Structures are given as C-alpha cells and as structure tokens.
Structure 1
C-alpha cells in the first residue's frame, strides 16, 4: 500500500516519527513522508501562492522516503500527490498531531486540512491526534492507525470524506473506541499586549479552553471519558434544510 504521511507539527516532530516507525515495519507498505520544515499548527487549509516552495529530501533514519517543504500541510499533500510521488498514494495519513483536534478545532487545524486536501482529490484520508497538553499517546495512536489500515482497505471510502481520530492522553487507560459526532469546544480570545526589545508593541493570542456541556455522543465527551474517538467528516458544507427556507425569501 502506498502511504503518504504528513502533519502540521513539522517533519522532525515526534508524532510523525512514531507513526512512520510503526508503518514502515510492514513490508507491504511503501511509506513516503512529505511534511512542513517547521511548526505549522493552526494554519487551516492555507496554501502558498506568493512565495516559492522549496523541497529538500531528508534522512529520518527510517526506511522511508522523506521530504520537507517550506509550506503548509495542504501544500505538502498537493506537492506529494502532484510532484513528488510517481503514483498517487492509496491513503494519506496526517499526524500524529501533538494535541487534540476536537469539535470546531477542525476548522483551524492544519492536521485535518491536510487530510481534507487528499479527500478533495478522491484519496482516502485520516487525521489522527494525540490529545492533551503533555503525555501524548503517540505510540497508542500509531498502533491504532496501523490496525485500521486493513479495515480502510476493505471498505468503500467515498470522495470528500475523511476520518478524524483523537486518542486520549497517555496517563489514563484507553476504554475502547467510539464513533462520534463533532462536539463543541471553544477558547476565550484574549490578546496580550507586549513590548519587544526595541520598545515596539505587539500582541500575543492567549486563549483558555471554555468548559462546555457536550452531547455524550460527541468526540469531546468520548475523549474526556478515555475513549478513542473516530468522527467521520464530509466536505459538503451546504445547509440543505436552510436552503429550502431561503428559497421562500423574497429577494429584490
């Protein structure tokens, strides 16, 4: 199986290293890593238009082909599919991200957006994140993805759909796996004004998570209870129910 790995934490991040280690143990897999050359978290689905993209092959000390790019996660997937790989990948896996991608996080997440870029091109895609702020369960997340690949191979995977996986922190036993909805997760928006060494002011975004009551079927609730969350996402954003109402409006 041709597997393209990417992330938004950068090519030298621990999460993608652990995932590559697990997947390249299987001789039936041909693993290629194409990832940003540095931290690119919360870049969403940005792509690079107004500066050149530089690609460098790197040695990760693993039996994989690896490239770093001075672009976004979506850039990496586009370059992987259209420039760097001789054949289209059978699957794109984005992660393992250091930190969760739950609820509305998916709209900011470079991890999820990399998977979305693959899905837009008809390639099965998975985003996987290790939740928490430390004690990331990278190995557990990689093992879970490793076990899921045969299931993905044997099941239909429609275009414009991805799987968003979140694994609880490593400091608690995993209860099992739940298929979930997107929950509600929000942060306060506070900009702290600071001064640089030259006395010029700048602002730093400081947000704290706001506690929200979540449906028991949501990804947020599942992870909080120690379950691996799998949320199926589709890229169609049209609100069909509201469309019907809008057609009743009188437009000038």
Structure 2
C-alpha cells in the first residue's frame, strides 16, 4: 500500500494516453506535486484513441518505476481507463481529490473528445465522483515545448482544488502551440468531424491492409463561442463536459411522435 509522509496534502492521480515516458506527462506530474501528493499510473506505451476502452481479455501488470517524497510512479500494460481503475481499486491509499490526465501531445478539441484516451481517463474519474481534468497541447512533437502552458495548468488545477466542479462534470482543456497565449476562454465544444481516409497497402505476402488517416473539419467555422475558435485566436479553451449525454429536448418529441404507447401496441 502506498504511504505518504504528509497525509494532509491533497491526493492527486495523474495518467495519460501517450505513455509513461511522454514529455507532457512529465510536465503535468511536476506541476501536480506543487499541489499535493501524487500517484502516476500511466500506460507502458502510447495508447491514443482508446476513449473509455478497458482490458477484459488479458491480465494487467503494474510495475513501480520510482518513489520519492510525495510522488509514486507506476506503469501498466492497460489503457488510460485501466490506469484509473487500477489506481482506485488496488494502489491508492484512499479516494483521490483530483484526477489529471495529459498533457496530451495533440488536440482533443471538438469531436475528438469522443475518441481521446486522455479524456476517457478524466471521464472515468468523474464516473467515480472525483473531480477530473484532461489537458492537451496542440503539438504532436514528442519534444513539444510546454513552457507557455505551465501558468494555465497551475491556474486551472488550483481553481478545481479550491472550488470543485459541478456534479458529473470534467474539464476538457486544450492549449495552443506557441510562446504567447492570450488567456483562458470558457467555451463549448465545436461541431466537427474527422474526414477519414484509409490508405491501402500490401504486405510482403500480398495481403492488403489499411492505415487510418484523415483531416479534421470544423463544421461551424463562423461560430465564436467554441473551443476551435478560442484556440485559433490563441486562447486556452476550457470546455465543461457532462457525463449525461441524453438529449433531453428530444424526449417529449420521441414520446409524442415516435415511440408507440402501450395502449397503441395492444390495439395492434
């Protein structure tokens, strides 16, 4: 069982989907230790695009990589959500005060929220009634420069630790690439989609295989209240995401026009 010398400090769980040795994770881990005791549980290799995937057909292994005052680091062969589940159920001495995921190398704005392993881990935190934040930088370079993002990561972590978040809500934070960021904008998720393309190849045995690629399409480029607009203008975008994906406005419509009542079914 993990034990900390200063148990009065907040307990923070840190994970990601780029792997335990990713630069963004190192930065987030370092900042998190300023606020509390930190346990890092991260995948042993990059597992991007995993969303909320869990491992059910293979055993999971956990290896402790390091331990120093206020910080434990582990890696596992699981997905980002596996990392959170393992931490909550087998590693942590108590329920953490905050789950942090990232800092992802690459954008998770707009519709990418549905595919992202970074945000899958944050969502898993909220599913367990723990405040959670997913951080991403719009730079896929393994050696990306995170220096300009540090003050904003600190500010957002501090706010959530002090004030919490609304029920069933996690934050999707995306940060532009560059040295000069203009500030933070609280905004909504842009409507967008990935224009996907499968590149066809042939292996040495003459068997066809396919490699997924594509480009992102912003479906409302004129909107000025979205994460895509904020990022294009040089702002850090903060989107509050909710667990409940019910379209509440459609319930009455479906009741009235689509789903037959019991009496109608009986008459047929």
TM-score by length of 1: 0.92
Alignment partner of 2:256: what SS? coil
Aligned to 2:112: 105
After superposition, the C-alpha distances for 1:70-129 in whole angstroms (9 at most, x for unaligned) are 111011011111111011110000000000111110000000010000000100000000
> Gaps (5+ residues) in structure 1?
none
Q: Aligned equivalents of 2:204 and 2:69: distance in 1?
A: 42
Does 1:76 pair with 2:76?
Answer: no
Shift of 1:154: 2.3
Which segment is superposed worse, 103-112 or 153-162?
A: 153-162
Shift of 1:247: 0.9
Aligned to 1:209: 216
Aligned to 2:204: 197
Q: Aligned equivalents of 2:138 and 2:204: distance in 1?
A: 35
Instruction: Report the CA distance shift for 1:130/1:175 in structure 2 as closer, same or farther (over 3 A).
Output: same
Shift of 1:137: 4.5
Does 1:47 pair with 2:54?
Answer: yes
After superposition, the C-alpha distances for 1:36-59 in whole angstroms (9 at most, x for unaligned) are 111100011001111101111113
Aligned to 1:132: 139
Aligned to 2:16: 7
Q: Aligned equivalents of 1:188 and 1:21: distance in 2?
A: 36
Segments of 4+ in structure 1 off by > 4 A?
60-63
Q: Aligned equivalents of 1:176 and 1:159: distance in 2?
A: 26
Q: Aligned equivalents of 1:169 and 1:111: distance in 2?
A: 18
Which segment is superposed worse, 204-213 or 230-239?
A: 204-213
Kept in 2: contact 1:131–1:137 (CA 8 A): no
Shift of 1:213: 3.3
Q: Aligned equivalents of 1:141 and 1:47: distance in 2?
A: 30
Q: Aligned equivalents of 1:190 and 1:62: distance in 2?
A: 48
> Gaps (5+ residues) in structure 2?
1-9
Instruction: Report the CA distance shift for 1:120/1:86 in structure 2 as closer, same or farther (over 3 A).
Output: same
Alignment partner of 1:127: what SS? strand
Does 1:223 pair with 2:231?
Answer: yes
Shift of 1:176: 1.0
TM-score by length of 2: 0.87
Aligned to 1:164: 172
Kept in 1: contact 2:23–2:144 (CA 8 A): no
Q: Aligned equivalents of 2:138 and 2:235: distance in 1?
A: 11
Q: Aligned equivalents of 1:45 and 1:211: distance in 2?
A: 24
Q: Aligned equivalents of 2:124 and 2:55: distance in 1?
A: 14
Equivalent position to 1:29, from 25, 36, 51: 36
Equivalent position to 1:117, from 124, 128, 134: 124
Does 1:179 pair with 2:189?
Answer: no
Root-mean-square deviation (CA, aligned residues, Å) is: 1.9
Shift of 1:211: 4.9
Q: Which has the larger radius of gyration?
A: 2
Equivalent position to 1:239, from 212, 237, 247: 247
